[in-house]
Structure 1
């Protein structure tokens, strides 16, 4: 049996992180970390080496797009942004940062 995909979740809303973690683990994925802001996401991405990152955009301090850009510069990996925001400038910034996908909540 193959190893479970390792996933990092970054969202400032605890209930969102908990719900996403539950859904992922129920489907056999391994959540290797949870971050509540962009700086923590960057740090955890370096420490846990996830296969995939789910990240919100609007978080305290470093936002999700800036965090994604930093992660992609240091050690590129697939990043999916999950956000309630669909403004064109945010989508463009996300594309420039190199994210895999931009999904608008609720999904």
Structure 2
């Protein structure tokens, strides 16, 4: 999963969840969502959600996203993503980033 930043709209962070390894190029249920946290410090810690992007969920072969949340300048952000692959759900939660 990757979180991107640009300065538009008071700061905008977008997240993409990428397929890797054997899952790359193979369609599977994939999800991603980005969050703006209430916190302004505490890299890696849990995020108390102030705002969120819309979710992106579909049967994708390469990635879900990007999904963006605005107003992130001077706030931590976080993202969650998963892929359902061969009977297992592989989930990543970024914790607070960009603080």
Structure with the larger RCO, 1 or 2 (CA within 8 Å, 6+ apart): 2
TM-score for the superposition, normalised by structure 1: 0.23
TM-score for the superposition, normalised by structure 2: 0.24
More strand by share: 2
More helix by share: 1
Structure whose alpha-carbon radius of gyration is higher: 2
